[in-house]
Amino acid sequence: MQGKILSPQLISGDDGKRYEYDKNDVINLDGKDLALLTGSQVEFLSFDKRVAKSIYIIAENLNVSSILSADSISSARAKALWGIGLLIFSFIPYIGLIIAIVGFVLYSMAIYSVSKAAASKSLFKNYIMAIITIFLCVFVFLMPAIMLLANIEHVDIFSSVITVFVLAMIALIAAIYPYKIHAELARLSGSSLFLWAFWIFVVSVPLLFVFIMSFGFAFSFFFQGFAGLIIAWVLLFIAWWRFGKVEKR
C-alpha cells in the first residue's frame, strides 16, 4: 500500500485510513529527521488496520516550511547554516541589510530549535540576554565613548588608561553571554569548534577596533582582524555542519 507521511507518528494511506508507525519501521530513513519529511510518499505493509510496518520512502518531500517549523537538531543545523551563509551577502549595497536580518532570524530560530531539542532551559535565554547586552554595550556605552574620545584634542596617559580600561570592561560584559552560548553548544554537540570560533572572534574584533581608532593607519591590525573573522566564520560553519545529535552527559 502507498500513502503519505503526515507526522513523525502518522501516515495517511491511499485507502483513506490513517496508520500509526514507529520510525524504526522506516527501512530507508538513513538518519533523516522524520519531522522534515512531512508530505513524503511511502510504501508500507499493514497487518493491522491502524499500524504501518516495513515502510519505504519512495519520494521525499523536503520543504522549507518543514525545516523552519521543526524543532530538531537536523532542522536547527539547516537554519544555522543558512543563517551563517547569508552573512557572505550582507555586504551587498542596499539589500545587504535585509539579507543580514534574514540570516539573523534564521540563526535565532536555530538556537531556539536546539534548545527545544536538547530540552535546555538556558541556551535560548542566554541568547536573548546576549542580544540585549551587546546592544546596550555597543549603542549605549561603546559608541558614545568612541565619539567622546574622537572629540578630545589632547589625551594624556591617565585618560588613555581609563579609556582602555572602560572599553575593556564593556567588551568583557558583552562577551559573557556569547561565551555561555558557545560553551553550551560545544557541550551539546561534543565539538570544541564552537568555542574556538568564539575565542578567535573575541580576538579579531578588538584588532579591527584598533584599526578604526587609528583612522586607517594600522593596516596590519585590519588584515589580522579580518582574517580572524573569516577563520571564526569557517569554524562556526563547520561546527554546525557536524552537529548531528545532542551529546548526552
171 burial via Cβ count (<10 Å: 0-12, 13-18, 19+): middle
Instruction: Determine how β-strand 41-48 pairs with β-strand 10-13.
Output: unpaired
Q: Quick one: pLDDT band at residue 1, thresholds 50, 70, 90?
A: confident
Supply φ then ψ for residue 18, to 5 degrees. Answer: -110, 140
Per-residue pLDDT tens for 176-231?
999 999 999 999 999 999 999 999 988 887 776 666 555 555 566 667 778 888 99
**Residue 55 DSSP SS3:** strand
Per-residue pLDDT tens for 128-156?
999 998 888 777 666 666 665 555 555 55
Instruction: Determine how β-strand 51-59 pairs with β-strand 2-7.
Output: unpaired
7 vs 127: which has the higher pLDDT: 127
CA dist., res. 243 & res. 185, Å (int): 9
CA dist., res. 143 & res. 64, Å (int): 39
CA dist., res. 79 & res. 20, Å (int): 29
